[in-house]
Amino acid sequence: AVTRTFSIIKPDATRRNLTGAVTKMLEEAGLRVVASKRIHMTREQAEGFYGVHRERPFFNDLVSFMISGPVVVQVLEGEDAVKRNRDIMGATNPENADAGTIRKELAESIEANSVHGSDSDENAKIEIDYFFKPEEIVG
């Protein structure tokens, strides 16, 4: 089925002017960008977004990194969008990511790993709603 997922192009990628390179890889993987905006998250916004990781040892560093520069938040649409996006992103740690994936080709480290993608349809809806109003999504 055609579904939607949520993506973030992270500060390490925007800093290196890789917004287009990342988006090209997403599009070539069969995903369509149906919403997109460049934002600089507040600490509160990032803490809320990553709330499920609050107890993790890397939480504070993760939030600091995500507010260290602008990000591009996107809604992606395609056949099985969540899985399709996770496949093209590659493993969280770029060292473990397959060749040809965004993280293998572009990411710097497990923290500065260039992209975020929703891990389930349920979380995709929550994450899309966190950043986008319905009228900002144009399919």
DSSP state of 97: S
Query: At closest approach, how far in Å is the CB of 111 from ligand CMP?
Result: 4
Strand positions, DSSP E, the chain: 2-9, 32-39, 71-79, 115-117
First to last CA, the chain: 15
DSSP state of 101: S
Q: Residue 108 interacts with ligand CMP (CB under 6 A)?
A: no
DSSP-derived secondary structure for 30-58: T-EEEEEEEE---HHHHHHHTGGGTTSTT
Q: Residue 14 interacts with ligand CMP (CB under 6 A)?
A: no
Comparison of 111 and 138: residue with beta carbon closer to ligand CMP: 111
Query: At closest approach, how far in Å is the CB of 135 from ligand CMP?
Result: 26
Contact region for ligand CMP (CB under 6 A) — 11-19, 22-30, 105-113, 129-137? 105-113
Binding site for ligand CMP (CB under 6 A): 53, 58, 62, 92, 110-111, 113, 116
